Amino acid sequence: MISASQGRLQDRRPLSIIDIGSNSIRLVIYEGLARSPTLLFNEKMLAGLGRGIVSTGKLDPEAVTRSMEEFRRFRALSDQAGAERMYVLATAAAREAVNGPDFIHRAEDVLKTEIQVLSGREEAHYSALGVISGFHPANGIAGDLGGGSLELIDIDGEAIGDGITLPLGGLRLQDMAKNSLTQAAKITREQLARAKLLKGGQGRAFYTVGGTWRNLARLHMEMTNYPLGVMHHYEIGIESAASFLRQVAKAEIDKVKGIEGVSKNRRSLLPYGAIVLQEIMAAMQPSKIIVSALGVREGFLYSLLDKAEQKADPLISAAEELARLRSRSVDHAHELVEWTGKAFAAFGIDETRDEARYRHAACLLADIGWRAHPEYRGKQSLNIIAHASFIGVDHPGRAFLALVSLFRHEGVFNEAAPEIRGLATPRYLERARVLAALLRVVYLLTAAMPGVMPRLKWENRGNGVLALVLPAALADLYGERPAGRLAQLARVTNRRLVLAVEGGPSMSVK
């Protein structure tokens, strides 16, 4: 009998999704159905099914043969990973090609399951749900650029507005333009004129979905020496995007820094993806470009959740899972959330909605590095958190979460990780130090175990003095080390603080 790994959440049942696109076919096996889905296994092939479809009306015959061989392998991998359910989604090429129905029938025989051929409207809907699931909240126009089509749809929070499917996928555009980038720009402008919804996006964000645009964003990261290699919620300013896209759209792609990291099969489509994004920017005039790592697959998964699960905060859900998997006590982590909230109130520190969410997540993540060597816990925690597959958090927020753990382990005035500190806003940097200082105090009173924090209280002692009071039953926890940590907190908050025992001694830490 094979033992279940303790690194896995035991209440999850794996499931797999195969996404049959015009350019790529991907198998993703998820740990289970969850608000913040975790990838168990991820594999793809660049089949190019839609190559030449404009001129022939058919799926590429060599790509069809290669796909069938890969489907057999994908089925075996899904079974090997223990996926209890397989979903197969097919998009533009399969639904539009003359030989599409025959291809689907053959693929269903190999995969031993039904394939859902999505209409353009369904594809746009699931893509929108993917963006909705990944941001907290999303507000703008989402664009999903595949090999065969471009889906555009308006999103405002959980509301999905107007949408349209256009024949502007990379492979299709390359084919229609007969490899002429000038002609590609003309075709794109003509097609986008039909997308009246773009006018409603002026001054709002444009969310990019799809492999071509992700690769462009990766190259932009390289060009700008961006310090964090996390694609989801990467933001690009309009001026920076315009300059970068002009270079790529001129087919000067081989001169772009980092191009060696993009597969040769993808490179030829990058100028077409740049042209489409340029023309969208001209028509829409967005405030910024935001990259979404989530699209149709994740939107389909999100649709399988019940309403209550959909409304859950994806960042908190993911942090909760890491606390369950890696911390010494998840109950202690929950107590930290409540205790630090009361401490912020006692100190008169106000919080925005996102700041409260990020403090909540930081508390859940505070102890995930405890198994590392003490000298490296801070740096290891910072790296895990900064690069975790979190959604529902922007990059400055991600930097805040990582810095809280760094400062909690290595001191609130630690100057390590300047690249991550540079991503945090000044307010986030200050809050990270305050929260970390609070954690450094309370861990010395709790030994990372629950039961103590609910019994601690903050008291105003007059003359601007604030006391952290232990009940008499916990008087043995009183001592120099926690008082020393309280002195650090006093320095960070510019407050006069006292460590006290109820009805007993107190230690000023001014």
Q: pLDDT at position 117, please?
A: 97
Mean pLDDT of the chain: 94
CA–CA gap between residue 122 and residue 124 (Å, rounded): 5
Residues 353 and 444 in one domain: yes
With a cut of 80, say whether residue 263 has pLDDT above it. no
Instruction: Supply 221's token pair.
Output: 């990261």
Q: pLDDT at position 509, please?
A: 58
Residues 35 and 174 in one domain: no
The set of residues, in sequence order, having a beta carbon less than 8 Å from that of 230 and lying 6+ positions away, is: 386, 387, 395, 398
Asked whether the beta carbons of 471 and 445 are under 8 A apart, the reply is no
Identify whether 6 is part of a domain: no
Domain-ending residue, one of 72, 99, 117: 117
Give the model's confidence band at 3: pLDDT under 50 very low, under 70 low, under 90 confident, else very high: low
Instruction: Supply 146's token pair.
Output: 């595949």
Residues 435 and 357 in one domain: yes
Residues 236 and 134 in one domain: yes
Identify whether 305 is part of a domain: no
Domain-ending residue, one of 101, 117, 133: 117
Give the model's confidence band at 106: pLDDT under 50 very low, under 70 low, under 90 confident, else very high: very high
Asked whether the beta carbons of 223 and 236 are under 8 A apart, the reply is no
Minimum mean pLDDT among 27-31, 93-97, 101-105, 137-141: which range?
93-97
Identify whether 1 is part of a domain: no
Number of structural domains the chain divides into:
4
Q: pLDDT at position 363, please?
A: 98
Domain region containing 449:
314-454
Residues 129 and 234 in one domain: yes
Higher pLDDT, 394 or 92: 394
Domain CATH for 269:
3.30.420.150
Identify whether 3 is part of a domain: no
Residues 84 and 136 in one domain: no
Residues 277 and 323 in one domain: no
What single DSSP character describes residue 311? H
Minimum mean pLDDT among 6-10, 153-157, 243-247: which range?
6-10
Residues 250 and 235 in one domain: yes
Q: Work out the average pLDDT over 379-402.
A: 97
**For the chain, percent of residues with pLDDT exceeding 70:** 97
The set of residues, in sequence order, having a beta carbon less than 8 Å from that of 143 and lying 6+ positions away, is: 150, 151, 152, 206, 207, 208, 209, 210, 213, 280
Q: pLDDT at position 1, please?
A: 37
Residues 162 and 220 in one domain: yes
Q: pLDDT at position 507, please?
A: 64
Residues 258 and 368 in one domain: no
Residue 259 to residues 146, 168, 174, 456, Cα–Cα distance (Å) = 20, 23, 20, 56
Residues 80 and 126 in one domain: no
Asked whether the beta carbons of 393 and 433 are under 8 A apart, the reply is no
Give the model's confidence band at 508: pLDDT under 50 very low, under 70 low, under 90 confident, else very high: low
Selection from 402, 419, 410, 397 nearest residue 437 by Cα? 410
Residues 344 and 436 in one domain: yes
Identify whether 303 is part of a domain: no
Domain-ending residue, one of 88, 117, 146: 117
Identify whether 264 is part of a domain: yes
